[in-house]
Amino acid sequence: MLPLAGVKVIELANLLPGPFCTLILADLGAEVIKVERPPLGDPMREIMPGSFESINRNKKSLCLNLKDDKAKNVLINLIKQSDVLVEGFRPGVAEKLGFGYEKVRTFNEKIVYCSISGYGQSGPYASLPGHDVNYLGVSGVLSISGDPQGPPAPWGGVQVADLCTSMYAALSITVSMLAREKSGQGDYLDVGMADCLLAWAGPRLGEYFSRGKPAKEKFMSRGAYGAFQTKDGRYLAVACVEDIFWNNLCRLLEREDLAQKEEYRSWSERNEHANELNNILSKYFMEKNRDEWMILLKNADIPCSPVNFFEELDHDPQISSKNLIYYFNNIPLVAFPVKFTKIEPEKIKTAPKLGEHNPEILASLGY
């Protein structure tokens, strides 16, 4: 039996943060009921259908118009049977619909109620609309993103604020359910995306101040660290942070003189001269194909990896060995990534159609 089997979760959220949070819970056995409004449901269904399939698998869909009294009664009865409610509205919207925490706890005092919003439920930005790039901006992360020599740029590739918030929310929900076992009481969780992202930025923030607040170019430049193009037009990633790996690379290139240069002797010094050093290394990496370099670098015990494009993932031996990617209607769905010794996460099921489970859920509530 999965650890969250028997836990019922109501999801009142769209797009990415809330749904990814409840996906984590679903993969660990929770029954997640995604409540969607008619006629179109979660906007992600139309905006990014492939993403919708990815983050809403293993869930049930209940289509309700929460402005209708009959639909509200359905949700009230569902709340009475549930353990967790996750909502992703702007602050105040759930209350206007009649499903704020104080109201919901009158139906079920043991419920764990999790509100996910851009800036949390309080503060001068609380009511502002926003997306990932806005929370990157407020948290300071955007200021150090992009080209070290260029302006702030949201080049991360994935929605960092949304996803880190999902993970904090899922962890906090699980902890609250554990605490409930002792107290018998539910809890209210106020999860702000900018707050979560600031927490992730904590180590970098500490580094910034300890180094005397350097300019972005000095702070973010990395010597002998990054993606390098090879002769065949492909890319590999090399990461010589520790001096032992830097010395190994110099021996491999037969450039021990570089290891002895004062400018490159330490990680901090290599970063100070990153542009100059990386230009030297780039010329060497252009002399051989990526697979040739991978063999040489591995044999020399240097941190290296291929830079895979999405269409290459199935062909990477490490990725394919983990059996994490499954295809449904040509859409790749990624399974829960952690390998347990005694737990096998939920097998992947496709995302539900809008309102697919209305008959089942309504019948279970006596309608």
CATH number at residue 27: 3.40.50.10540
Residue 230 lies in a domain: yes
pLDDT greater than 90 at residue 1: no
Q: To the nearest 5 percent, what fractions of the chain are helix, strand and coil?
A: 45, 15, 40
Residue 212 lies in a domain: no
Residues 65, 118: one domain? Answer: yes
pTM for the model? 0.94
State the Cα–Cα distance between residues 282 and 78, nearest whole angstrom.
Answer: 60
- What is the domain extent for residue 94? 8-201+325-364
Number of domains in the chain: 2
Q: In what order do the strands lie in the sheet with 187-192?
A: 60-63, 31-36, 8-12, 84-87, 112-117, 187-192
Whole-number pLDDT of residue 84: 98
Contact 272, 217 (CB under 8 A): no
pLDDT greater than 90 at residue 250: yes
Reported as half-sphere exposure (CB side, CA atoms, 13 A), residue 261 has a value of: 14
Tens digits of per-residue pLDDT, 4-50?
A: 999 999 999 999 999 999 999 999 999 999 999 999 999 999 999 99
Residues 25, 170: one domain? Answer: yes
61: which residues sit within 8 A by CB, 6+ positions away? 33, 34, 36, 41, 352, 353, 354, 355, 356, 357, 358
Residue 40 lies in a domain: yes
Residue 207 lies in a domain: no
Which residue matches tokens 């990014």? 48
Residues 289, 331: one domain? Answer: no
Residue 210 lies in a domain: no
Which residue matches tokens 């104080």? 102
Tens digits of per-residue pLDDT, 281-325?
A: 999 999 999 999 999 999 999 999 999 999 999 999 999 999 999
Tens digits of per-residue pLDDT, 94-112?
A: 999 999 999 999 999 999 9
Contact 66, 357 (CB under 8 A): no
Residues 345, 279: one domain? Answer: no
State the Cα–Cα distance between residues 153 and 166, nearest whole angstrom.
Answer: 23
Residue 211 lies in a domain: no
State the Cα–Cα distance between residues 347 and 360, nearest whole angstrom.
Answer: 21
